[in-house]
């Protein structure tokens, strides 16, 4: 009986999982981040706009993209620009880390500017 109850509870949770938590949504966001990190043309710009529309849900995938895709300095600057455009204070620690520790001075400057563009933390 206990196994049945646990199984029903798990099925209920899985059935009620929000779409933003699905593997398909995660893969879609990471595909957008890959474009931002690795492309430098209109595809990257369009992907950045789509990520900005996703808002807070795009912050973790963007942070992952900094390291997972081994983004070059230009790609990291595009990720920073996207994080700043989202405007959520949740991006503050990511930008602060990059502003202090990124090896590229232009990336550090972009991250510092991005920090200034965020709304203050609550």
Domain boundaries, the chain: 25-117
C-alpha closest to that of 65 among 31, 88, 103: 31
Look up residue 90 and give its two tokens: 């949740």
* pLDDT(9) > 90: no
Contact 56, 85 (CB under 8 A): no
Residue 14 pLDDT: 43
Q: What is the pLDDT of residues 30-82, one digit of tens each?
A: 999 999 999 989 999 999 999 999 999 999 999 999 888 878 999 999 999 99
Sheet strands (E) in 3-122: none
Q: Mean pLDDT for the chain?
A: 84
C-alpha closest to that of 81 among 26, 44, 54, 31: 44
Q: What is the pTM (predicted TM-score) of this model?
A: 0.78
DSSP state letters, 54-66: HGGGGHHHHHHHH
Residue 7 pLDDT: 38
């Amino acid at each position: 009986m206990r196994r049945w109850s646990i199984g029903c509870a798990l099925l209920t949770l899985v059935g009620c999982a929000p779409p933003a938590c699905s593997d398909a949504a995660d893969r879609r966001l990471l595909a957008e981040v890959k474009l931002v990190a690795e492309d430098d043309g209109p595809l990257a710009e369009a992907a950045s706009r789509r990520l900005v529309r996703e808002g807070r849900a795009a912050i973790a995938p963007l942070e992952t993209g900094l390291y997972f895709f081994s983004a070059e300095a230009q790609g990291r600057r595009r990720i920073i620009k996207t994080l700043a455009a989202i405007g959520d204070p949740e991006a503050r620690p990511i930008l602060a880390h990059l502003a202090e520790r990124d090896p590229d001075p232009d990336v550090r400057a972009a991250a510092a500017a991005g920090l200034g563009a965020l709304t203050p933390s609550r």
